[in-house]
Structure 1
Amino acid sequence: MLERAFERALFACRWLLAPFYGALAIGLFVLLVKLLQEIAHFALHALESNESQTILGVLTLVDLSFTASLLIIVMFSGYENFVSKFDHSDHKDWPEWMGTIDFTGLKLKLMSSIVAISAIQLLKAFMDVKASSDRDLAWLVGLHMIFVISGLLMALTDRVAAGHHDK
């Protein structure tokens, strides 16, 4: 009886994660504010910007949208995997991927998004290469390669583990 009560209490603790996902939703609103600031700055300086500055502005918008998409994936997948399932019967436009991403898929999507965001940051630095020192660029390249290698190793590890479970 004590064991059963302890297990129920542990199981109920999963709801302690819900505020974390709520905090990510607040982070999404903060990103929206930043997006609006960037759009205003981008639009106000569009006529006086050169090609490189325009590309940097667009890359910033892409970077913000990738980060926002990453937050959505983590919020929904994390909530469904660790807290509770969504009742999506009332939603006609329910995305197909929601409810199908397990923890392994979430890790890989997260790592892929981090690699993409890192690549955009690296591209932005190379677009404005005069503003960065060689040391800064080397760090950006090194960190990006660490993210790429980490993602590949994570995917390989998950593939090996999945193959091991199939036997």
Structure 2
Amino acid sequence: MLARLFIRSVRERGVWALERACGAPIFRTRSSVTSQMCGCKAQQVGVAMTRREYSASGGRETVSDDHEEEYYVDVSNIESRWAGLGFDAQQDIISYLNVKQEFGWEYLSKDEKRAIYYIAYGKWGPRDPAVMSSAEFVFKLMTNMLLFSVLGFSLLNYAIDQEKIAEFNGAEESTSE
């Protein structure tokens, strides 16, 4: 029952609508593997429906309940494969895991939990500790020098202004007495 709810939820959200132009299926069934996110041209096994196609079918299942299979994305060893995946494949995995999380953590496999943790907190994107190139280092150095120069100049002018204000207030008090 949970698998049927999951498939229906994914179908309604349009996650099944993979990039048809490139034909890179990332979904696989437990019985057969079509392609493991390699981006090769292959036909997707199973039912691929967009939201429009699903609503046009009137919500009817196109596969009988007896032959409905549970689909999942291959997220095993995602830490080593993530950098080599294309942007679309990464977004498909993120969408799949977001939908899968809605059903609760007890329904997730260990690999899916590890993939969710890696996507949320892993060393990719802004958390990638890649070494800066020399051009990036020079740009960062120049930007920081400019920032601190402006900050120092502002503090010096502020101190001078405070002295002049105190001097002006002292002169006003002496003339008013």
**TM-score under structure 1 normalisation?**
0.29
Greater Rg by CA: 2
Larger relative contact order (C-alpha < 8 A, sep ≥ 6)?
1
**TM-score under structure 2 normalisation?**
0.28
Q: Whose helix proportion is higher, 1 or 2? A: 1
